[in-house]
Structure 1
Amino acid sequence: MLMIERVLGSRLEPSLHERIHRLEHHGTVDVVTVSAMDMSRRRLRLLSAKGEDIAIALPRDQKLFDGAVLLIDDERAIVVRAEVERWLSFQPRSIAEGVELGYHAGNLHWRVRFAGERLLVALEGPIETYYARLDALPGVSSIPRLVVTGEMAA
């Protein structure tokens, strides 16, 4: 198991970017994909794309971010990649539907975002769980919904 105790910087920093670029040409840059939920954690254990077991224990003054360099030397690098978030998008047909949906989303402690008149709910588990919860709510079960990715959700 590889223990990481600090973020070395961003892959975009000129000093790191050149080194990572060279290592990419040799196929020796490994990626650790981190979910949006785990991005704020300071301690976690993950498996890299190449199968390396990685334990991360960061100090309080550091956070993970997309492009964070966890390890770099002459032979390899390990870089964080943020997982693309998926959102369940709702388009209420009336103010009453929107208020009811917002009420239930709050009671269920769902992480939400707003995009114009749409309510977006972050999918942090199987979508069937969300549908089951919604289908049990008579006023909300018929609101049109669509799954979108992070880029489309904005």
Structure 2
Amino acid sequence: MNIFSDIIGAADQPGFREDLHRLDHAHAVDHLRLSRSDLARRRFRGLTDAGREIAIALPRSQQLFDGAILELKASAALVVRVETEDWLRFVARDAATALRLGYFAGNLHWRVRFEGDVLLIAVETERRVYLDRLEPMIQSGEIRPLRTAEVAVP
């Protein structure tokens, strides 16, 4: 098992981009796919797309990111890729309900962000967990789930 204790650089840096492009054409770039929440970890074991078991042991001064290069040799490379995040989207019927929804999400330590009047909740476990907790507010019409492309209408 290889242990990686340093981030060499970023895949989009000019000095590395050409080498990675060449290796990619030779099918010699392996990826370690991580969730956004895994980026904060400094010590763990993982499995690359090619099936290699690896260990990460980074110093406190370094943090993983999308495109972090962990290995770059003439014949192979290993690059971190962050999986696309899934977000649930909700709109509240009024300001008081929006405040209650935000308070509720905060108490459950859910990671959220805002797009205008829409509250987005990061899906970090099964979607059903979030929807079950919010079901009373959905059923009462206090909040309405939105599809990804749907725009909230005041």
Whether the TM-score (by the shorter chain) exceeds 0.5 is: yes
Instruction: Tell me: CA distance 1:148–1:82, structure 2 relative to 1, closer, same or farther (3 Å).
Output: farther
**2:89 is matched with which residue?**
89
CA distance in 2, matches of 1:11, 1:100: 42
1-structure distance, mates of 2:106, 2:13: 40
C-alpha displacement of 1:148: 4.3
Aligned to 1:18: 18
TM-score, normalised relative to structure 2: 0.89
Structure 1 residues 43-67: Cα deviation after superposition (integer angstroms, max 9, x where no partner): 1221111111111010111111111
- Does structure 2 conserve the Cα–Cα contact (< 8 Å) formed by 1:3 and 1:57? yes
- CA offset at residue 12 of structure 1? 1.5
In structure 1, the residue matched to 2:98 is 98
**Deviation at residue 140 of structure 1 after TM alignment:** 5.0
- Please give the alpha-carbon distance, in whole angstroms, between the structure 2 residues aligned to 1:60 and 1:118: 35
Distance in 2 between residues matched to 1:148 and 1:28, nearest whole Å: 35
Q: 1:85 is aligned with what amino acid? A: E
Contact 2:3 2:56 in 1 (8 A): yes
Q: What is the match of residue 53 of structure 1?
A: 53
- AA aligned to 1:108 is L
1:96 shift after superposition: 2.0
Q: Distance in 1 between matches of 2:88 and 2:147?
A: 5
In the TM superposition, 1:35-46 aligns within 5 A as 35-46=35-46
For 1:147 and 1:114, locate their aligned partners in 2 and report how far apart those are by CA, in whole Å.
15
TM-score by length of 1: 0.89
SS in 2 for 1:100: helix
SS at match of 1:38: helix
SS across alignment from 2:16: helix
- Secondary structure of the 2:39 match is coil
Percent of aligned positions that are identical: 46
- Compute the displacement of 1:146 (Å): 3.4
> Which residue does 2:34 correspond to in 1?
34
Match of 1:152?
A: none
Residue range with higher mean Cα deviation, 66-75 or 91-100 = 91-100
Instruction: Give RMSD over aligned pairs.
Output: 1.6
**Matching residue's letter, 1:96:** A
Q: Is the contact between residue 35 and residue 83 of structure 1 (CA under 8 Å) also seen in structure 2?
A: yes
**How many residues are treated as equivalent by the alignment?**
147
Q: After TM superposition, give the deviation of residue 139 of structure 1 in Å.
A: 3.6
Tell me, in whole angstroms, the C-alpha distance in 2 between the residues paired with 1:148 and 1:36.
Answer: 19
Any stretches of 5+ residues in structure 1 without a counterpart? 150-154
